[in-house]
């Protein structure tokens, strides 16, 4: 079997965008003079890659991170490495792409581009063998996938309460809210962040897991103060409190608190996660398969994490992450971004692909009989997109 074509498509959303009081901490929010510290982290386009073989299989991969740049990297750097190769040689092809780009790659957009290709190659493998990707990765490790509801963007306490109550009633046994108040709001903002957690805890009671997302927005002193104040609320984890490069500070923070620390949503490859394990920086890894290096790299990280007692709960739902969660003992649950109006960009995949798993009673199921990733590109309802080849 040979790869005969690699096609990239940039889906750009031109339709309405919901504007609400969606405010949460970001890496820019500690800086003064920011009118909109979230602007750099909203994204309204998505990269899709199709890889075609001489036997007629078409594998589908995707990248949400920096999609215009990942498209360019695939087109100008990766495609020529792939044409004529056997797509089933996923281990070899990852190394070929990683080593060919290592001088300027290693983390970020280049690894996201390699990840999109790797997902498409595993899709081909599944289609070729007539098996779902999770069966090729290690098979079924759980009867269904437990999910946690990931939204609660508002900092209006009444709305927060109503949303939390609604999703508890829907059967979700975990939910994640965002820190609505940035570092620059000081102690007053810190108290309001704690107040948000208190309101959610009082709304859902003790039998629902609550997670708090900081999206890289704080520093070590603030994180210490915040975690101390959050002690009564029994958080399942506190997420990305610091910049991803502050591995040493995560390790310090972990010694300081009993609240489990999660991160790795913006870390890359087995090398990045090896460093996190060596320093004992985190309790939970949250890579996304479409950033970390695809299935090929994620599988290695899951195995390393398992031996260190670190859980892997991937970022962002989507089928690629769900296949990994189903097949690995390292993964106890998955994140679930519900299908909503377009708001920050995370929800865009619902508008591009058919076949994404929908949670029922807080759980997801994968089809044992559907080969590959189980996804196709939507052919209808695309009027709000421009699609660049
Ligand atoms: Mg996150």
Q: Provide the β-strand partners of residue 69.
A: none
**Separation of CA 378 and ligand 1 centre (Å):** 27
CA 135 – CA 231 distance, rounded (Å):
40
Structure confidence at residue 97 as a pLDDT band (50, 70, 90): very high
Strand pairing category for 237-239 and 261-263:
parallel
Question: What residues pack around ion ligand 1 (CB closer than 5 A)?
Answer: 265
| Phi, psi of 153, deg, nearest 5 | -80, -25
| pLDDT at site 25 | 82
Radius of gyration of the chain (CA): 20
* pLDDT of 35: 75
Task: Count other C-beta atoms under 10 Å from residue 139's C-beta.
Answer: 12
What fold characterizes domain 136-378?
TIM Barrel (3.20.20)
Cα angle for residues 21, 190, 238 (degrees, 5° grid):
85
3-130: CATH architecture: 2-Layer Sandwich (3.30)
Q: Rounded mean pLDDT of 241-248?
A: 98
Lowest mean pLDDT among 111-115, 150-154, 228-232: 150-154
Question: What's residue 20's pLDDT?
Answer: 66
Whole-number Å distance, alpha carbon 240 to ligand 1 midpoint, is 7
Res 298 pLDDT > 80: yes
* pLDDT for the residue 210: 98
pLDDT at 205: 97
Neighbouring-strand partners of residue 299: none
Residue 43 confidence class, pLDDT cut points 50, 70, 90: confident
CA angle 148, 154, 155 (to 5 degrees): 120
CA of 225 from ligand 1 middle (Å) equals 20
Domain range annotation of the chain: 3-130, 136-378
Distance 216 CA to ligand 1 centre (A): 9
* Three state DSSP letters for 105-146: CCCCHHHHHHHHHHHHHHHHHHHHHCCEHHHHHCCCCCCCEE
Whole-number pLDDT of residue 36? 78
- Name the average pLDDT for the chain: 95
Averaged pLDDT, 297-314: 98
Side-chain-side CA neighbours of 23 within 13 Å: the count stands at: 16
Q: Is the pLDDT of residue 101 over 90?
A: yes
- The stretch 120-145 carries a mean pLDDT of 98
DSSP code per residue over 368-388: TTS-BT--EE--SS-TTEEEE
Residue 312 Cα to ligand 1 middle (Å): 13
Chain centre distance of CA 200 = 23
| Distance (Å) of CA 72 to CA 77, 111, 159, 346, 389 | 8, 13, 41, 21, 11
Rounded to the nearest whole angstrom, what is the distance from the C-alpha of residue 83 to the centroid of ligand 1?
Answer: 35
289, pLDDT greater than 70:
yes
Which run of H or E residues covers position 310? none
Q: 175 CA to middle of ligand 1, Å?
A: 12
Kindly report, residue by residue over 6-38, the tens digit of the pLDDT.
999 999 999 988 876 667 788 988 888 777 777
Q: What's the gap in Å between 56 CA and the centre of ligand 1?
A: 37
Catalytic residues: 315
**290 CA to centre of ligand 1 in angstroms:** 14
Averaged pLDDT, 335-340: 92
Q: What is the pLDDT of residue 19?
A: 74
CA 102 – ligand 1 centroid, Å = 26
Number of residues in the chain: 389
- State pLDDT tens for residues 164-180: 999 999 999 999 999 99
How much distance in Å is there from the Cα of 213 to the middle of ligand 1?
Answer: 6
pLDDT band at 343 (very low <50, low <70, confident <90, very high): confident
Which of the four pLDDT bands, split at 50, 70 and 90, describes residue 255?
Answer: very high
Ligand 1 mean position, distance from CA 212 (Å)? 9
Whether 197 shows a pLDDT value over 80: the answer reads: yes
Ligand 1 centre to CA of 186 (Å) is 22
Pairing of strands 3-13, 284-285: unpaired
Report the pLDDT value the prediction gives residue 37, as an integer from 0 to 100.
77
The whole-angstrom separation of Cα 67 and Cα 348 is 12
CA distances 110 to 102, 153, 268, 327, Å, are 9, 30, 10, 26
Query: What pLDDT does 22 receive?
Result: 66
Question: What integer is the mean pLDDT of 69-92?
Answer: 98
Q: What is the pLDDT of residue 195?
A: 98
């Amino acid at each position: 079997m040979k790869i005969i074509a690699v096609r990239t498509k940039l889906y750009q959303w031109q339709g309405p965008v919901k504007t609400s009081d969606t405010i949460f901490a970001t890496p820019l929010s500690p800086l003064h003079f920011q009118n909109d510290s979230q602007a750099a982290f909203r994204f309204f386009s998505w990269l899709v890659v199709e890889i075609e073989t001489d036997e007629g299989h078409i594998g589908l991969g995707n990248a949400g991170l920096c999609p215009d740049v990942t498209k360019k990297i695939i087109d100008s750097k990766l495609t020529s490495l792939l044409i004529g190769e056997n797509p089933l040689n996923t281990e070899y092809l990852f190394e070929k792409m990683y080593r060919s780009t290592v001088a300027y790659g290693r983390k970020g957009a280049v690894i996201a581009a390699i990840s999109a290709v790797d997902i498409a190659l595993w899709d081909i493998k599944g289609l070729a063998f007539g098996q779902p990707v999770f069966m090729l990765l290690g098979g079924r490790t759980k009867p269904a996938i437990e999910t946690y509801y990931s939204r609660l963007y508002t900092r209006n306490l009444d709305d927060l309460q109503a949303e939390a109550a609604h999703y508890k009633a829907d059967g979700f046994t975990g939910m994640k809210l965002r820190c609505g108040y940035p570092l620059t709001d000081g102690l007053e903002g810190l108290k309001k962040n704690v107040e948000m957690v208190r309101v959610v805890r009082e709304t859902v009671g003790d039998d629902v897991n609550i997670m708090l997302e900081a999206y890289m927005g704080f520093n070590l002193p603030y994180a210490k103060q915040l975690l101390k104040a959050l002690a009564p609320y029994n958080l399942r984890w506190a997420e990305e409190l610091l910049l991803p490069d502050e591995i040493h500070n995560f390790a310090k923070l972990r010694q300081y608190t009993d609240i489990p620390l999660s991160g790795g949503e913006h870390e890359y490859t087995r090398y990045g996660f090896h460093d996190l394990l060596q320093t004992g920086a985190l309790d939970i890894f949250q890579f996304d398969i479409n950033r970390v290096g695809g299935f090929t790299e994620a599988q290695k990280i899951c195995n390393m994490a398992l031996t260190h007692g670190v859980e892997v709960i991937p970022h962002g739902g989507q089928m690629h992450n769900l296949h990994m969660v189903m097949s690995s003992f390292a993964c106890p649950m998955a994140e679930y971004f519900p299908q909503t109006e377009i708001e920050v960009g995370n929800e865009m995949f619902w508008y591009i692909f058919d076949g994404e798993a929908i949670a029922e009673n807080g759980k997801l199921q994968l089809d044992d009989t559907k080969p590959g990733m189980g996804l196709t590109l939507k052919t209808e309802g695309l009027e709000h997109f421009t699609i660049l080849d």
